[in-house]
């Protein structure tokens, strides 16, 4: 029985591109793993406290940090909704990372998370792809890939729905077709990746 740890961090419960794509991933995952388990945390609806001195000093002895680290270690796969806010990840997701990364417990090549597939849905209102004017402001994929691979030795993959503001920003109206194409690709990628992971874990 496979376990998926699913984290959402978009502030809006409805109309969120990252939530729509993670939901498609989870639906396909459940279809492939009807007897599996999905552990879900909505970091926006139920935010974690910021890491303070007491929690930092306690490390794995801190109850919340131990709980979060155990959830992560027990997961066969991880799904993270990480929309771009002000060029970075939501502060609620950063709080989760600060708590769950515990030196001496799960950091390094011998981490219990090593090799765990982590799929990140990195949505953004514009485009920050290589070759675009804002490529140098892409701090979501670059940050999360570096952190998750160097800290946990995890296998990180990204799904990137772009131009999500095209429908609401009149100045981006001409980009609506590209936004629709990006959304459709992200939903297809979510289903395909969920199926591929399910098959890999079942092998």
Residue 183 has pLDDT above 90, yes or no: yes
Q: Residue 93 and residue 43: Cα distance in Å, rounded?
A: 7
pLDDT tens for 105-143 read: 999 999 999 999 999 999 999 999 998 989 999 999 999
| Residue 162 φ then ψ, to 5° | -110, 170
Q: Given pLDDT bands bounded at 50, 70 and 90, which one contains residue 202?
A: confident
Q: Residue 14 and residue 7: Cα distance in Å, rounded?
A: 16
Q: What is the DSSP string of 125-146?
A: SS---TTSTTGGG--SHHHHHH
pLDDT of residue 12: 95
Q: Residue 45 and residue 78: Cα distance in Å, rounded?
A: 19
Cβ-count burial of 165 within 10 angstroms (0-12 exposed, 13-18 middle, 19+ buried)? middle
* 10: CB partners within 8 A, 6+ apart: 16, 17, 18, 19, 44, 81, 83, 90, 123
pTM of the model: 0.96
Q: Residue 155 and residue 107: Cα distance in Å, rounded?
A: 14
* Average pLDDT for 79-97: 97
pLDDT of residue 194: 96
pLDDT of residue 39: 98
Residue 203 has pLDDT above 80, yes or no: no
**Cβ–Cβ < 8 Å for 41, 26:** no
The domain ranges of the chain are 3-202
* Average pLDDT for 42-47: 98
pLDDT of residue 92: 98
CATH number, span 3-202: 3.40.50.360
pLDDT of residue 79: 98
pLDDT tens for 10-37 read: 999 999 999 999 999 999 999 998 888 9
pLDDT of residue 100: 98
Residue 1 has pLDDT above 80, yes or no: no
Long-range contacts of 102-109 (CB under 8 A, 24+ apart): 102/59, 102/60, 102/65, 102/69, 103/59, 104/59, 104/60, 105/59, 105/60, 105/69, 106/69, 106/72, 106/73, 106/152, 107/151, 107/152, 108/151, 108/153, 109/153
195's tokens: 């199926």
pLDDT tens for 142-180 read: 999 999 999 999 999 999 999 999 999 999 999 999 999
* 130: CB partners within 8 A, 6+ apart: none
């Amino acid at each position: 029985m496979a376990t998926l740890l699913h984290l959402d961090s978009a502030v809006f419960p409805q109309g969120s591109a990252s939530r729509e794509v993670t939901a498609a991933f989870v639906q396909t995952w459940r279809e492939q793993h009807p007897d599996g388990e999905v552990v879900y945390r909505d970091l926006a609806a139920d935010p974690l406290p910021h890491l303070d001195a007491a929690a930092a000093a306690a490390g794995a002895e801190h109850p919340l940090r131990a709980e979060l680290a155990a959830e992560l270690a027990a997961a066969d796969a991880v799904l993270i909704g990480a929309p771009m806010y002000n060029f970075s990840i939501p502060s609620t997701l950063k709080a989760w990372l600060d708590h769950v990364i515990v030196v001496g417990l799960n950091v390094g090549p011998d981490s219990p998370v090593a090799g765990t597939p982590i799929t990140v849905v990195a949505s953004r209102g514009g485009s920050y792809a290589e070759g675009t004017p804002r490529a140098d402001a892409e701090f979501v994929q670059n940050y999360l890939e570096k952190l998750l691979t160097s800290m946990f030795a995890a296998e990180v993959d990204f799904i990137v729905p772009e131009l999500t503001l095209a429908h609401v920003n009149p100045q981006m109206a001409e980009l609506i077709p590209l936004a629709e194409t990006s959304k459709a690709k992200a939903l297809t990628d979510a289903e395909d990746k969920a199926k591929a992971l399910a098959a890999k874990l079942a092998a």
